[in-house]
A = this chain, B = another copy of it.
């Protein structure tokens, strides 16, 4: 803390943004202290600031920079890495009130949005124009675009449509001195200077505060057809995924569930999802190519599944029935609450190594004596092994934490990454260092120091200076 006292900072923020935008009641600040990752540490904010426009964001950043008070930017708080968790004495900068869809331009297939726009609201707004914003993290009905950008969020769509960064054309970012950077473009292509927009995407609020984004949109796909296939072993399901990749098929969705996930979903839905008793893995695939093409794609996928030993396959082009089949995948995390609290991990492995990752998780589950359900985006190798534990038991919590780390170890050993889409945040800092090594860390620190010399943006998230 420097020249400005805490009280002086709060007074200045109240003067600049209005009293209602600056909250210090512990009930309020406490409610903005955490995201959805139970393992990550969090602190007690000095204040929560809710600006209504970019001027308010700039004023907040300027005041905090002067007072050398750290800023933790956040959206809805749906994150799963603790990146949005408060640290002691920080200002939590909440972007949810900057929630305007500034523009939808169907002629150029783009949208300009503020960071507080909820993912689903953007999807709905562009759908009216026959357009599609692909990134669909599972919290899409409440997470915000700003959080999606800051974590480079993925989802079920990625196998065909990529992750958030693939939809970013340009950004407006408030920098550490309060100045406003406009980077990127409205055009499809552009190479004028460094790709700063993609440097800010996924930087977890450590380099600046995103206040506007220009996003590329896709034509709205056709209603998807759906295929479900049950396998007698994870190895068989894994080999089906590898063959789908090798044969050049690109489904619009390809999810995998292991036996533990299947059992949890069946218990929760109180139904046999048709997998049969010997079913060790389920693949759920969709094609949104429409009509005859979708039917052909699903038939090819079905054939591969059968060739790889699936003992049950079922395909439908009925949308409602397809959604019902996908229910099993969607309810897994909720279903696991039947058994305890869950802790979901996030590793991405080469698509040829999915079965190895699942068998690694099974071994870890046996070792730590906790249930681990593996669900994941099989089409891009991004797996979410989910550990179930009793939060009242310190011992179980410690074992859950051990399992969480061992899964990352297995992921790295398979040539994967310690985070496919949830981010590093405050929970995987040591693992980032393990994955990228000392040279990579040095470059990260050089860039952070160059753009945020006083380390006011989300210090200690992703890495420490």
Contacts and interface: CB of A to CB of B under 8 A. Distances in A.
Given A351-B108, A450-B447, A199 B195 contact: yes
A420 interface: yes
A107 interface: yes
A165 interface: yes
Interface string A269-295: 000000000000000000000001100
A193 B430 CA distance: 12
Contact of A447 (B108, B131, B447): B447
Interface stretch (A44-52, A226-234, A259-267, A436-444): A436-444
A187 B443 contact: no
A220 interface: yes
B193 A432 contact: yes
A186 interface: yes
22 contacts: A107-B350, A107-B351, A108-B245, A108-B352, A131-B248, A175-B443, A179-B439, A185-B417, A187-B349, A187-B381, A187-B420, A188-B380, A189-B381, A189-B417, A190-B417, A191-B420, A191-B424, A193-B436, A198-B198, A219-B249, A293-B293, A446-B451
Nearest to A431: B192
A151 interface: yes
A223 interface: no
B188 A158 contact: yes
A49 to B, nearest CB: 23
A79 to B, nearest CB: 11
Contact of A415 (B186, B451, B462): B186
A16 interface: no
Contacts of A202: 191, 194-195
A439 B191 contact: no
Interface in A399-453: 415-424, 428, 431-432, 435-437, 439-440, 442-444, 446-447, 449-451
B183 A436 contact: yes
A181 interface: yes
Contacts of A419: 190-192
A228 B101 CA distance: 38
Interface string A354-383: 000000000000000000000001011110
B108 A192 contact: no
A436 B192 contact: yes
Given A350-B108, A440-B183, A152 B191 contact: yes
Interface string A294-315: 0000000000000000000000
A348 interface: yes
B380 A187 contact: yes
Given A108-B350, A187-B416, A421-B191, A443 B436 contact: no
Interface residues of A, number: 88
Given A182-B437, A439-B181, A187 B350 contact: yes
Given A186-B415, A443-B181, A192 B154 contact: no
Contacts of A36: none
Given A199-B194, A349-B187, A351-B108, A446 B437 contact: no
Contacts of A377: 189
Given A105-B350, A192-B436, A193-B424, 15 more contacts: A107-B242, A108-B245, A154-B189, A179-B439, A181-B439, A185-B416, A186-B350, A189-B417, A189-B421, A191-B417, A193-B432, A194-B447, A195-B199, A195-B201, A449-B450
A182 B415 CA distance: 14
Given A107-B352, A248-B219, A435 B188 contact: no
A417 to B, nearest CB: 4
Contacts of A380: 187-189
B440 A451 contact: no
B444 A245 contact: no
